[in-house]
Amino acid sequence: MEHVLEYFTQVEWQHLIFASLRILLILIIAWVVMSLIRAGLGRMEKRLVERGKKQGDVPSEAHKRAETLVRLLRQAIVILIWIMSLLVILNEMGISIAPILASAGVVGLAVGFGAQNLVRDVISGFFIILENQVRVGDVAVINGTGGLVEAINFRTLQLRDLEGKLHIIPNGTITFMTNVTHGWSAYVFDIPVAYKEDTDRVVALIQRVGAEMRTDSRLRRSMLEDVDVFGVDKFDDSGVVIKGRIKTLPIKQWEVGREFLRRVKQTFDAEGVEIPFPHRTLYFGAASPPVVAQMLNRAEAAPVPPAPPLQRENSHAGER
């Protein structure tokens, strides 16, 4: 009992009380900072959802993307604040934090070398989601592989191609990305016609087809503008190529483009516009007629062959 009383008499109560008050103050400050950060992240999440809806995102996908970003930021900030608070509290308790910081640096360096690919994937995925480079439901070409984006995570991106194959691509390996359906899409067409056709008339027919499609109740919701015909693009081997573009809603360009080509074919057939196809004519010398003409001439000049002798023998046999 005497040793216990002696210990308590040696304790510097004033220093202990002030240290406890400082530790309590540190905890209160950490709690206040966390509350402010949670409120700020909540407002940030709402703004991200509203911005995603304005850009045409599905509400569930916009909320999912914003929630994922905010959750990652919240976890990182919470860990950082509590680690700093713990180090300050240990320093107030008289414990040297220099060895702890040195050990943490060595461990962090070892983990960084061992998981550098994972860290690279996570950081790349974070910026892909933050900058809204590609969304679920977009059609994208990533590192030369095209398909429909089915899922975006912090580590990987899932892409399904036209054959149904699912490509799982680590975010850190993405070096080149093309979003085909971001904001709006376009169907670019090249329509060949024969050299004998009047190109102004052909352009007028194409524009008429586009105007008819704009009056269609089903198609006009997908078409953002009238069909833009650029004009004669080049002289091909078999005809003249007319180039143009149809601006559509995202991922609607193929549906509108197929219907446009179908109507153009029907209009050309009705108006007698020739769509060329590759053909060749062989000549043997500049002054010689074509091979087909020579064959026809030889066939007309050939004499009629006489009746076969077998018929005469059969007729003599009948007389006997």
Across the chain, the runs of DSSP E, i.e. the strands, are: 139-142, 145-152, 156-160, 166-170, 177-179, 185-193, 228-235, 240-248
CA dihedral (226, 231, 236, 238) positive or negative: positive
Report residue 315's pLDDT band, with 50, 70 and 90 as the boundaries.
very low
Alpha-carbon distance 298 to 76, whole Å?
92
Q: CA angle 192-197-201, nearest 5°?
A: 95
Closest CA to 225 of 213, 235, 217: 213
Question: Which pLDDT score is estimated for 191?
Answer: 94
220-250 pLDDT tens trace: 889 999 999 999 999 988 889 999 999 998 8
DSSP, collapsed to helix, strand or coil, labels residue 51 as helix
Question: Which pLDDT score is estimated for 81?
Answer: 86
Strands 240-248, 228-235: pairing is antiparallel
Alpha-carbon distance 132 to 162, whole Å?
24
Question: Which pLDDT score is estimated for 259?
Answer: 95
Average pLDDT, the chain: 80
DSSP, collapsed to helix, strand or coil, labels residue 53 as helix
**30: number of Cβ within 10 Å:** 18
DSSP, collapsed to helix, strand or coil, labels residue 275 as coil
DSSP, collapsed to helix, strand or coil, labels residue 39 as helix
Quick one: average pLDDT of 61-71? 71
Higher pLDDT, 9 or 50: 50
Report residue 22's pLDDT band, with 50, 70 and 90 as the boundaries.
confident
Report residue 209's pLDDT band, with 50, 70 and 90 as the boundaries.
very high
CA dihedral (68, 69, 72, 78) positive or negative: negative
Higher pLDDT, 300 or 45: 45
Question: Which pLDDT score is estimated for 23?
Answer: 81
Quick one: average pLDDT of 112-120? 74
Report residue 140's pLDDT band, with 50, 70 and 90 as the boundaries.
very high
Alpha-carbon distance 124 to 128, whole Å?
6
Contact 240, 193 (CB under 8 A): yes
Q: Is the pLDDT of residue 122 over 50?
A: yes
Cα 114 to Cα 100, 102, 118, distances in angstroms:
21, 19, 9
Question: Which residue type occupies 65?
Answer: R
Quick one: average pLDDT of 41-53? 79
Q: Is the pLDDT of residue 189 over 90?
A: yes
